[in-house]
């Protein structure tokens, strides 16, 4: 688990980012809302402000300097602000103004926000998870969120977000990865995914691969990232099948999985492809390049 985020530091940082990106009329509106909320906080006013922000703030992507990206990482390990919009940044800045001294009251407030949020607001609330107080208590909400079939909402939790790696229990984590594979989401965008690889997940993914093959359908190449460390006598035939096929991307993924394995047969198979070993060692073949190549194939 990570240490508690310094909420005041995070709030000041988000305000600095907004000040550098927003137009005068957007800053004027935000300043008015700040004054109102800080001088006489009313929860009903907060709900209205949070929801109406989309009428006064653009959804433009943030343009951040290298220094800002580094500062984000110092505030919260894995904090990837570059994937937020200006509107999301404003809304999350507002979220950090919520009173949180009473834990039960704060959790109840967040519950009501989720229950009344539209899709864009849901995305924002899940992107905010790494910065919010009481992160352990929000894990059930995150686990519920990954059950969605709305890609944008699922991605807000699963991709470019350190929260799942740090706080989801193993059952919820495994379900998130399995669903990401099913939805063909880019697994390389899952923060430090390899740290949560586990034997149970490997078994679930192999079963999923068998189902896909039985239906004459392809398997997401990145799936083998979570199987490689757990290759053994019982499942090695599956990786052999992947590597011996005609799909070069799948072959590369299978060999990359072998490179993460201590199973002797996996190492022996990998050694039959010295050119692939060279590409792995010089950084030209890794799970990001596998994922990017798969995305390119989807676009064709």
**Percentage of the chain exceeding pLDDT 90:** 96
User: Between the CA of residue 58 and those of 21, 32, 88, 89, 178, what are the distances in Å?
Assistant: 10, 17, 9, 11, 34
From the list 194, 147, 188, the residue with the least C-alpha distance to 171 is: 147
The pLDDT assigned to 299 comes to 87
Residues 167-203 pLDDT 10s: 999 999 999 999 999 999 999 999 999 999 999 999 9
- Which residue bears the tokens 């993914």? 205
Helix (H, G, I), strand (E, B) or coil at 201: helix
Rounded to an integer, what distance in angstroms lies between the CA atom of residue 158 and that of residue 153?
A: 9
Cβ atoms of 71 and 13 within 8 Å: the answer is yes
Query: Looking at 182-225, which runs of residues are DSSP E strands?
Result: none
At residue 105, does pLDDT exceed 50?
Answer: yes
The per-residue pLDDT for 156 is: 98
- Is the pLDDT at 1 greater than 50? The verdict is no
Whole-prediction pTM value? 0.94
Backbone angles phi, psi at 133, to 5 degrees: -65, 160
pLDDT exceeds cutoff 70 at 2: no
Q: Which of 117, 113, 8, 17 is nearest to 62 (CA)?
A: 17
**DSSP character string of 104-171:** HHHHHHHHHHHHH--HHHHHHHHHTGGGSS-TGGGHHHHHHHTT---HHHHHHHHSS-SHHHHH--HH
Count how many residues are written for the chain.
300
List the structure tokens of 268. 């022996």
Answer whether residue 59 shows pLDDT above 90.
yes
Q: Which stretch of 3-17, 231-245, 261-275 has the lowest confidence by average pLDDT? A: 3-17
What pLDDT, on the 0 to 100 scale, is given for residue 278? 98
Mean pLDDT (whole number) for 80-85: 97
Q: Which residue carries 């290759």 as its tokens? A: 231
Share of the chain above pLDDT 70, in %: 99
105: number of Cβ within 10 Å = 13
Average pLDDT over residues 249-277: 98
pLDDT of residue 266 exceeding 60, the answer is yes
| Among 215, 191, 272, residue whose Cα is nearest residue 239 | 272
The mean pLDDT of 71-75, rounded to a whole number, is 96
Bridge partner residues of 114 (DSSP)? none
- In this structure, the number of other CB atoms found within 10 A of the CB of residue 83 comes to 15
Domain boundaries, the chain: 1-136, 197-300
């Amino acid at each position: 688990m990570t240490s508690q985020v310094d909420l005041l530091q995070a709030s000041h940082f988000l305000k600095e980012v907004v000040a550098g990106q927003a137009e005068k009329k957007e800053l004027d509106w935000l300043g008015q809302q700040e004054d109102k909320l800080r001088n006489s906080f009313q929860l009903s006013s907060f709900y209205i402000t949070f929801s109406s922000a989309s009428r006064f703030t653009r959804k433009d992507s943030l343009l951040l300097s290298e220094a800002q990206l580094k500062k984000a990482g110092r505030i919260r390990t894995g904090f990837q602000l570059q994937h937020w919009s200006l509107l999301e940044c404003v809304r999350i800045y507002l979220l950090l103004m919520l009173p949180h001294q009473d834990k039960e009251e704060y959790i109840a407030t967040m519950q009501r926000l989720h229950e009344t949020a539209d899709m864009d607001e849901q995305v924002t609330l899940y992107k905010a998870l790494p910065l919010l107080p009481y992160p352990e208590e929000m894990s059930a909400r995150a686990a519920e969120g990954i059950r969605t079939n709305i890609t944008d909402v699922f991605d807000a939790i699963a991709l470019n977000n350190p929260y799942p790696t740090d706080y989801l229990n193993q059952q919820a984590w495994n379900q998130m990865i399995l669903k990401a594979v099913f939805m063909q989401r880019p697994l390389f965008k899952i923060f430090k995914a390899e740290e949560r690889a586990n034997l149970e997940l490997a078994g679930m993914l192999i079963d999923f691969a068998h189902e896909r093959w039985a239906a004459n359908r392809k398997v997401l190449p990145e799936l083998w990232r979570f199987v490689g460390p757990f290759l053994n006598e019982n499942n090695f035939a599956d990786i052999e099948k992947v590597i011996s096929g005609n799909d070069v991307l799948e072959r590369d993924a299978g060999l990359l999985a072998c490179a993460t394995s201590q199973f002797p047969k996996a190492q022996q198979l990998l050694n039959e492809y010295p050119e692939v070993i060279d590409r792995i060692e010089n950084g030209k073949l890794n799970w990001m390049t596998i994922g990017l190549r798969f995305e390119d194939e989807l676009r064709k």
